[in-house]
Amino acid sequence: MHGSYDAIRHGGAMTKAAKTKALTAHDVFVPSSFPEHTYVARGDEDLEDKLRFALKTKGQIVSLSGPSKSGKTVLVEKVVGKDKLVPVVGAGIRAPDEVWTRVLDWIDAPSESMEMKSWQLQTGARVGAKAETDVIVASGEASGDLNTAFTRRSTGSERKRRRGLEQVIEELAGSDVVVLVDDFHYMPREVRIEVAKQLKEAARREVKIVTAAVPHRADDVIRANPELQGRVTVIDVGYWRPRDLARIAHSGFDALNVDLEAASTERLAHQASGSPQLMQALCLYACFVLGTIDRMPKRISEKLKEEDHVKACRLTSTIADFRTLVDALEAGPRARSGDRKMYRFKGGSSGDVYRAVLKAIAEEPLVLAFDYDEVLRRVRALCDGEAPGGSSVTGACAHMARLAEEQLPTARVLTWDERDQILEIPDPYLSFYLRWSDRLRDVD
C-alpha cells in the first residue's frame, strides 16, 4: 500500500511520523532511493523549474529523456513529492488496463465498492420514458398514458467494480498527483499503441502524466500514437558534470561531520562517469573504507589514499554485475578452435581482438563514446608487439554490439554506429564494471 485512497480523493496525502535516529552513511548516500541528504540541483540547467512549468500545462504529457542512471526518477520525486508520485513500470505489463490497475493499487482504491442508490417507481408513466429516466413502469410493456398515477421511492445498494482509466481520471484529474510511466518500451508493441491512446485521454482530462526513457526510446510514446505530436513536452536529462557529482560527496560527507579532501572527491566524481547513482554508491563504499559509516561526534578531516580509492572502486563494482554479458562479448561469435589470432598485452597477459577492445574501453581517459581512431589507438597501445588491424577491430565492435543486443534486448549498454564508426557505452555501470571488476584483470 503506497498511497491513501481517501487522501487522494480529498487532495491530501498521509504522512508518517519520522523516527529519530543517529545518521549513518546508509541514510546519506543512497544509490537506489531518493537522496534526502544529498539531492543536488544541477548547475544552471533549471531542470526542476522546467518540470514544474511543464506539469502545469494542461493536456500535456511530460517526457523525461536521459541516459540510464542519470536521475530522472529522482528529479520527478523531488519536484512532485513522494506522496504524490504514482510510479508505473512498463516491465510486466501485458494489457493496457494493467497500467491503471497499478495506479489504483497505489492509491489503495478498493477492488469493489458498494454504492447506495434510490429508484422511483411510478405507474401512469409513458413506456418511452423508461430508458431516459429512473422511472420503472409497473405495468410491464404497456403503451400509452395510464389513467392511474402512483409514485413511491425505493433504496438499495449496488456493487461497483474498478473502472480502470475512467476511475483514475475521476480520482486524479485536476489534482497534484503525477503518474510516472517508466520504461514504456518494455510493453509489447500492441499494448504500447493502446496505452499511448489512453495516456493522451488521461492528459486531456487533466491527469498529470510523466514518462521517463533513455534517449533512443524517448519518442516511443509519440511513435505509438502520432496524434500525441504537439502534446508532449520533452525535457532532456543528460550525463552529470563532474562538478555537480562532486557536490553530492560534499553535502553527504558534511552531513556525516567529515571534511573529505577535494582531490579525493574529484577522483570519485571522475569514476562516476556522469551518473549520480554511481556517485552515491562510490561515496557509500568510501565511507566503509574510511570507517565513517556513522556520523562523527566531532568534525574530522579525511582523504582517500591510493589503496583506499582502489578498494572503494572495487567494492562498488560488486553492485554492477555484467559477468554474463562480458563473457559473451569476450567470447565473440562462435569460431572453430584455433581460428582466433592471439595478441600479447603489455600487462603480460594475452587475448584476441575481443578482449583487446574490452580492455581498451576500460583504459584512461574514461569516456563513454569512442570514434574509430580512438578505439584503434587504445588497442594498439595495449599490445606488446603486433596489434589487431583496423578491419579486425571494427568487425569486433560490430559483433559485440549485436551480442549485447541479444543478451539484453530491452536495454542499450553497448552500441556500434556502422556509418559513423562510433562505439558507445550508454550505461555507465558497464564502463565502471570493465574498469574495476576482476573480469578483465591480467592473469597470465
Mean pLDDT of 94-119: 81
Between CA 137 and CA 106 the distance in angstroms is: 43
* C-alpha dist (Å) from residue 107 to 1, 110, 297: 8, 9, 41
pLDDT at 156: 53
Confidence of residue 126 (pLDDT cuts 50, 70, 90): very low
Mean pLDDT of 403-423: 91
Confidence of residue 67 (pLDDT cuts 50, 70, 90): confident
Mean pLDDT of 364-381: 94
User: pLDDT tens digit string along 164-188?
Assistant: 999 999 999 999 999 999 988 888 8
pTM of the model: 0.80
Q: Higher pLDDT residue, 123 or 186?
A: 186
Mean pLDDT of 113-131: 50
Between CA 157 and CA 152 the distance in angstroms is: 17
Residue 329 C-alpha cell reads as 562479448
pLDDT at 335: 67
User: pLDDT tens digit string along 284-336?
Assistant: 999 999 999 999 999 999 999 999 999 999 999 999 889 999 999 999 987 65
Lowest mean pLDDT among 42-51, 99-108, 210-219, 276-285: 210-219
pLDDT at 243: 95
The answer to whether 237 and 72 have CB atoms below 8 angstroms apart is yes
pLDDT at 213: 86
Asked if the domains 43-108+166-236 and 242-319 are classified in one and the same CATH topology, the answer is no
pLDDT at 6: 57
Mean pLDDT of 423-438: 93
Confidence of residue 116 (pLDDT cuts 50, 70, 90): low
Q: Higher pLDDT residue, 412 or 362?
A: 362
Mean pLDDT of 202-207: 96
Share of the chain above pLDDT 70, in %: 83
43-108+166-236 has CATH 3.40.50.300 classification: yes
Confidence of residue 157 (pLDDT cuts 50, 70, 90): low
Tell me the CATH number for domain 242-319: 1.10.8
Is the pLDDT assigned to residue 260 strictly greater than 70? yes
pLDDT at 129: 45
pLDDT at 34: 95
pLDDT at 83: 93
Between CA 96 and CA 192 the distance in angstroms is: 8
Share of the chain above pLDDT 90, in %: 67
Q: Where are the domains of the chain?
A: 43-108+166-236, 242-319, 323-436
Between CA 319 and CA 281 the distance in angstroms is: 9
Average pLDDT, the chain: 86
Q: Higher pLDDT residue, 213 or 269?
A: 269
pLDDT at 200: 95
Write the secondary structure of the chain as one string of H (helix), E (strand) and C (coil).
CCCCHHHHHCCCCCCCCCCCCCCEHHHHCCCCCCCCCCCCCCCCCCHHHHHHHHHCCCCCEEEEECCCCCCHHHHHHHHHCHHHEEEEECCCCCCCHHHHHHHHHHCCCCCEEEEEEEEEEEECCCHHHCCCCCEEECCCCCCCCCCCCEEEEEEEEEEEECCHHHHHHHHHCCCCCEEEEECHHHCCHHHHHHHHHHHHHHHHCCCEEEEEECHHHCCHHHHHCHHHCCCEEEEECCCCCHHHHHHHHHHHHHHCCEEECHHHHHHHHHHCCCCHHHHHHHHHHHHHHHCCCECCCCCEEECCCHHHHHHHHHHHHHHCCCHHHHHHHHHCCCCCCCCCCCEEECCCCEECHHHHHHHHHCCCCCCCEEEHHHHHHHHHHHECCCCCCHHHHHHHHHHHHHHHHHHCCCCCCCEEECCCCEEECCCHHHHHHHHHCCCCCCCC
The answer to whether 39 and 74 have CB atoms below 8 angstroms apart is yes
Is the pLDDT assigned to residue 212 strictly greater than 70? yes
